[in-house]
Amino acid sequence: MSTATQAKGQRRSLFDPAITRRASKDALLKLSPSHMMKNPVMFVVEVGSVLTTVLLFTDLLTHKGHFVFNLQITLWLWFTVLFANFAEAMAEGRGKAQADTLRRAKSETTAYKITKSGSIEEIPSAQLRSGDLVRVLAGQMIPGDGEVVEGVASVDESAITGESAPVIREAGGDRSAVTGGTRVLSDEIKVRITSNPGETFLDRMIALVEGAERQKTPNEIALNILLAGLTIIFLLAVVTLQPYSVYSAAPQTVFVLVSLLVCLIPTTIGGLLSAIGIAGMDRLVQHNVLAMSGRAVEAAGDCNTLLLDKTGTITIGNREACEFLTAPGVESNQLADAAQLSSLADETPEGRSIVVLAKQRFGLRGRELAHLNAEFIPFSATTRMSGIEVDGRSIRKGSVDAISAYLVEHGSRLPDQVRESVESIARSGGTPLVVAENGRALGVIHLKDIVKGGMKERFDHLRAMGIRTVMITGDNPLTAAAIAREAGVDDFLAEAKPKDKMDLIKREQAEGKLVAMTGDGTNDAPALAQADVGVAMNSGTQAAKEAGNMVDLDSNPTKLIEIVGIGKQLLMTRGALTTFSIANDVAKYFAIIPAMFAGVFPVMNKLNIMHLNNPQSAILSAVIFNAIIIVALIPLALRGVKYRPMSAAAMLQRNLIVYGVGGIIAPFLGIKLIDMLITALHLA
């Protein structure tokens, strides 16, 4: 996570006053039946509340019933509905706050459209259409999503990513995509607009975080069916209880029956379900990842195989020189000197690391190229070597094949010992760079891939969760195997071409596995589309972003691992609260059933194992517990249950104890406590 996002996360506390205020208002607005219908469990509670409210007033007119008790029941039933709505509104409110920030970036800007004749026309950005060409100068806002077709510029994308460091956007290649609402800091670019108004990336992002376009995810739909089914079963149990009670000469009031029903139906999970879903998406957004659908988030939790690009994900992007291996009869410092000289003009990180290594090992100071009167020979695709001509010395460095050819040209050959060094370096996962001077091989520089810190542990965690990691690299199999071993990935795909990646995904999917991957280039697009979870880098091409179902605004490929964790956490939270909700019912039965019948059958008090004070306080306590448990669990719903990487068997056991056994015990304590409080306050 970037420091910017961390700051953002801290800024928004769980119960931010502004969000809480707005959520309280929204909770009332959400009482509209058309909204409640979407949630069958809470809709039943609302219908019950309406029923008891009507009865409360008719009873008042006819002077029937126990007004104080019935009033309290009715109020708490309404609170149950309101608390559930509040939970949903809280989750949405957090998204809305984020959307407001984004909307500010969306403010109307002026676009400088390049007409067919080549002249510049000033139009409002809202009038831009896909295919239009615009010119953006330093200091100007990019008017819409598009691709740079000409020029290079540094762009401030902090409005979207929260990252303040500017990024480079240039025509061609994999860093051509720009987003509307970001600002060009330097230089000038021409951008071809790729989206119509209202369909821009920013628009989609606002809709996503606001939950406006939220569609229920597959698991959520299935869970809703389960909850609706349980609600119908309990409805049957409660509706038929009245005939049994009448038969037993102990008829019940509607208030008591509705109380029993509301306590039994899974209101805890029913009330928090949509909040959990919204919060899950929100957690992704806080990690600066945009999921195009909730389905993708769930799929992330289900992933069996992660395809990780070696460079940038497993290893830091650059290789480093770590060793000089000399040819027979060559002194180490002679090799180091030649290597350093040849690398002085080499501005690549590899080149700089050679200079640094020579300095560290042999105290060779980097010399100023200008003072040397040297001719630098740059790397070219045809020679595949670079080097330097200085003081009659002709130094070359390059791949083993290139240098061999160079030596043969000079009537020499690569000594066997050098060849052995080359092979041993390759075997260990490094890249050998052979150095030659005046037609004679001096030795080999060992360039090494640096595996990012902590990767091995993360792969171990993934393995514990049953997720296989596959490293994708263009390296030869030998090198790839060595790095794979060092990084601790389960498998690797060497000399990978885009088609190989695609084939691998299809092969895994044919075995019933779900595959996640990251990508940024246009040639990654087909694989991103094929993968179950395709995370495109924000810095990548438009094609890659279109093909994937998530976009990482930080363009950090390692984040795939976090995304998997967020997906799992979302599913776990739902499961945990469902289990908790159902387990709660046991205690509620022991509170309400004896209370219902103890009046007619005093022996029923034997079932009052909590020794609740009286029937009314017992029923009221159960209803109150049922309502406030929703509020008490809002933080858990929004944050998600604690998630530790471990095997499914261990996780199941742990969560069953916490949420299953805990769910049975907690309400016994809670109801007893509330009963004592009610009794002390003389409320019943």
Instruction: Tell me how far, at minimum, the Cβ of 263 lies from other proteins, in Å.
Output: 11
Q: Which is nearer to other proteins, 67 or 244 (CB)?
A: 244
Per-residue contact flags (x/-) with other proteins for residues 10 to 49, judged by CB under 8 A: ----------------------------------------
Q: Which is nearer to other proteins, 456 or 463 (CB)?
A: 463
Residues with a catalytic annotation lie at 309
Q: Does 240 contact other proteins by CB under 8 A?
A: yes
CB-based contact 150:172 (threshold 8 Å): no
Residues 502-531 that bind other proteins (CB under 8 A): 511-514
Give dist(CA 181, CA 104) in Å, integer: 9
Query: Other CB atoms closer than 10 Å to residue 302's CB: what's the count?
Result: 17
One of 99, 208, 494, 572 touching other proteins (CB under 8 A): 572
Q: Does 655 contact other proteins by CB under 8 A?
A: yes
One of 264, 335, 425, 537 touching other proteins (CB under 8 A): 264
One of 575, 614, 628, 683 touching other proteins (CB under 8 A): 575
Site stretch for other proteins (CB under 8 A), options 85-93, 105-113, 650-658, 668-676: 650-658
Query: Other CB atoms closer than 10 Å to residue 456's CB: what's the count?
Result: 15
Angle between helices 615-632 and 254-264 (to 10 degrees): 40
Q: Does 466 contact other proteins by CB under 8 A?
A: yes
Provide the 3-class DSSP secondary structure of residue 317. Answer: strand
One of 68, 225, 408, 669 touching other proteins (CB under 8 A): 225
Q: How many CA atoms lie within 13 A of 360 on its CB side?
A: 10
CA distances from 171 to 133, 136, 180, 542, 611 (A): 13, 13, 16, 12, 76
Give dist(CA 432, CA 299) in Å, integer: 41
Q: Does 165 contact other proteins by CB under 8 A?
A: no
Nearest to 337 by CA among 321, 350, 324: 324
Name the residue with tokens 């290079």: 152
Q: Which is nearer to other proteins, 312 or 567 (CB)?
A: 567
Q: Which is nearer to other proteins, 194 or 581 (CB)?
A: 581
b/e code 76-107 from CB counts within 10 Å (16+ = b): bbbbbbbbbbbbbbbbbbbbbbbbeebeebbe
For every residue of 374-442, DSSP letters joined together read: -EEE---TTT-EEEEEETTEEEEEE-HHHHHHHHHHTT----HHHHHHHHHHHHTT-EEEEEEETTEEE
Phi-psi region of 645 (alpha: psi -120 to 50; beta: other; left: phi over 0): beta
CB-based contact 259:622 (threshold 8 Å): yes
Q: Does 229 contact other proteins by CB under 8 A?
A: yes
Site stretch for other proteins (CB under 8 A), options 2-10, 75-83, 160-168, 216-224: 216-224
Q: Which is nearer to other proteins, 265 or 451 (CB)?
A: 265
Q: Which is nearer to other proteins, 298 or 554 (CB)?
A: 298
Q: Which is nearer to other proteins, 101 or 304 (CB)?
A: 304
Q: Does 660 contact other proteins by CB under 8 A?
A: yes
Q: Does 609 contact other proteins by CB under 8 A?
A: no
Site stretch for other proteins (CB under 8 A), options 112-120, 125-133, 204-212, 457-465: 457-465
Residues 72-101 that bind other proteins (CB under 8 A): none
Site stretch for other proteins (CB under 8 A), options 175-183, 611-619, 630-638, 644-652: 644-652
Instruction: Tell me how far, at minimum, the Cβ of 637 lies from other proteins, in Å.
Output: 14
